[in-house]
Amino acid sequence: MSYDVVVIGAGPGGYVCAIKAAQLGLKTALIEKRDTYGGTCVNVGCIPSKALLHATEMLLEAEHSFDALGIEISKPKVNLKKLMAHRVNTVEQNTKGLVFLMKKNKIDTFQGTGQVLAAGKVSVTGEDGKAQEIETKNIVIATGSDIAGIPGVDVAFDEKVIVSSTGALEFDKVPGHLVVVGGGVIGLELGSVWARLGSRVTVVEYLDTILGGMDGEVAKQFQRILAKQGMDFKLSAKVTGVKKTGKGASVTFEPVKGGDAETIEADAVLVATGRKPYTDGLGLENAGVELDERGRVKVDGHLKTNVPGIYAIGDVVVGPMLAHKAEEEGVAVAEMLAGQAGHVNYDVIPGVVYTSPEVASVGKTEEELKKAGVDYKAGKFPFTANGRARAMLQTEGFVKVLADKATDRVLGVHIVGFGAGEMIHEAAVLMEFGGSSEDLARTCHAHPTMSEAVKEAALATFSKPIHM
């Protein structure tokens, strides 16, 4: 058997790369060791967590907003089994869809662990231990990432009491006290799910802010909103121990600036302290593929490794560990292999936290612009001044537009607010075309929409917003 391209890993990077390659006429194969396609994202990440986030957001609405909207109901009751069935069904629909797409695009699929033997040669080892060799002109490594754990701390994940993001999707009862180690995206999304279902949630974070790397003002306001929802935060706190106890688990942390260690008891602990590139068993050393200092597959600006004919994309290479970044890279590699000019614009990759309200951002933060010495102007508009937001009782948050002072080019847009994850894309499209804040402010936005706040924030960078 010989292929133009063999992709190892069927996550959003790998399966999208395979589809694009097949669409462009390349003879394509995809290797995956799971029973289902879609990788972490579809099976135990983005998709199932969104099913839980949506369901519990509806619960929040029913509990807190219906009465004010004049809808009287008795206290909503959660059927955790049914809620979990919604998560399972959602995942199933997506994985089935992927089987259909592989067939439709005539992609040959192999189940098993892929190994790179050399440029042009891979093997697949199935569950029965039998290996078969496949010849291919090109190899794309898309093996993703795995939970990083806490460096220097022995964490015995049992996925029942001490859990990673995977276990936190399927607690069979609502933990009384859930301690979340790491105030990043996973911690806050899954922490929100269980807080809404009734857990007391304490987030222990090493940095002095949650969502490190996000715009500082956004992170601060967002933390206030989550605190109002009942989440507790211990910031500047380094977790040094996570242990199982008779009743649950305990988490020990030390103040980063020095001082006495503290231990808190929990019914369950979610450790969400980042992910690491996954290259186990891939045999990259045999093929001579270089890794960087953080264990990521080293690639150049065209996603080529140091070995001709071997490419790598997604979480296993440098850059944000986001499904959509991996997808873009998958498309770019397929296009390059088909002789086209594949390209990823790393300056315009949106990031979304799917909490309530959502947080979304694209481009540079104020902190990054200050650090780079860029002269910029900022325009802000709060949702409290937006008519649609008032009608929906969704007035929390704001939009911030950052633009170059000299050229007016939009450099970053940051939103905390209901539907932020959808709204961010008008900013992304504008930035992809090198648009200015005046372009954004002069684009007619339908009234009444939450998106009008984006227009008003853009207007605020060079003039006065109308509704403030």
Write out the catalytic residue numbers.
447
315 marked ligand binding residue: yes
267 marked ligand binding residue: no
Minimum Å gap between C-beta 145 and ligand NAI is 7
Compare residues 142 and 186 and give the one whose CB is closer to ligand NAI: 186
Compare residues 213 and 309 and give the one whose CB is closer to ligand NAI: 213
Minimum Å gap between C-beta 351 and ligand NAI is 6
266 marked ligand binding residue: no
322 marked ligand binding residue: yes
Compare residues 111 and 252 and give the one whose CB is closer to ligand NAI: 252
Minimum Å gap between C-beta 429 and ligand NAI is 19
Compare residues 109 and 221 and give the one whose CB is closer to ligand NAI: 221
Compare residues 176 and 212 and give the one whose CB is closer to ligand NAI: 212
460 marked ligand binding residue: no
323 marked ligand binding residue: yes
198 marked ligand binding residue: no
Minimum Å gap between C-beta 32 and ligand NAI is 20
Cβ neighbors of 184 (< 8 A, separation 6 or more) are 210, 211, 212, 272, 273, 274
Binding site for ligand NAI (CB under 6 A): 150, 181-187, 189, 204-207, 212, 238-239, 272-275, 321-322, 351-354
Compare residues 26 and 188 and give the one whose CB is closer to ligand NAI: 188
137 marked ligand binding residue: no
HEC per residue, the chain:
CEEEEEEECCCHHHHHHHHHHHHCCCCEEEEECCCCCCHHHHHHCHHHHHHHHHHHHHHHHHHHCCHHHCCCCCCCCCCHHHHHHHHHHHHHHHHHHHHHHHHHCCCEEEECEEEEEECCEEEEECCCCCEEEEEEEEEEECCCEEECCCCCCCCCCCCCCEECCCHHHCCCCCCCEEEEECCCHHHHHHHHHHHHCCCEEEEECCCCCCCCCCCHHHHHHHHHHHHHCCCEEECCEEEEEEEECCCCEEEEEEECCCCCCEEEEECEEEECCCEEECCCCCCHHHHCCCECCCCCECCCCCCECCCCCEEECHHHCCCCCCHHHHHHHHHHHHHHHCCCCCCCCCCCCCEEECCCCEEEEEECCHHHHHHCCCCEEEEEEEHHHCHHHHHCCCCCCEEEEEEECCCCEEEEEEEEECCHHHHHHHHHHHHHCCCEHHHHHCCCCCCCCCCHHHHHHHHCCCCCCCCC
Minimum Å gap between C-beta 256 and ligand NAI is 9
Q: Which residue is nearest to ligand NAI (CB)?
A: 184
Minimum Å gap between C-beta 296 and ligand NAI is 12
Compare residues 191 and 379 and give the one whose CB is closer to ligand NAI: 191
Minimum Å gap between C-beta 206 and ligand NAI is 3
Annotated binding-site ranges for NAD(+): 182-189, 205, 274
Q: Known binding site for FAD: residues?
A: 50, 114, 143-145, 315, 321-324
- List, as residue ranges, the binding site: 50, 114, 143-145, 182-189, 205, 274, 315, 321-324
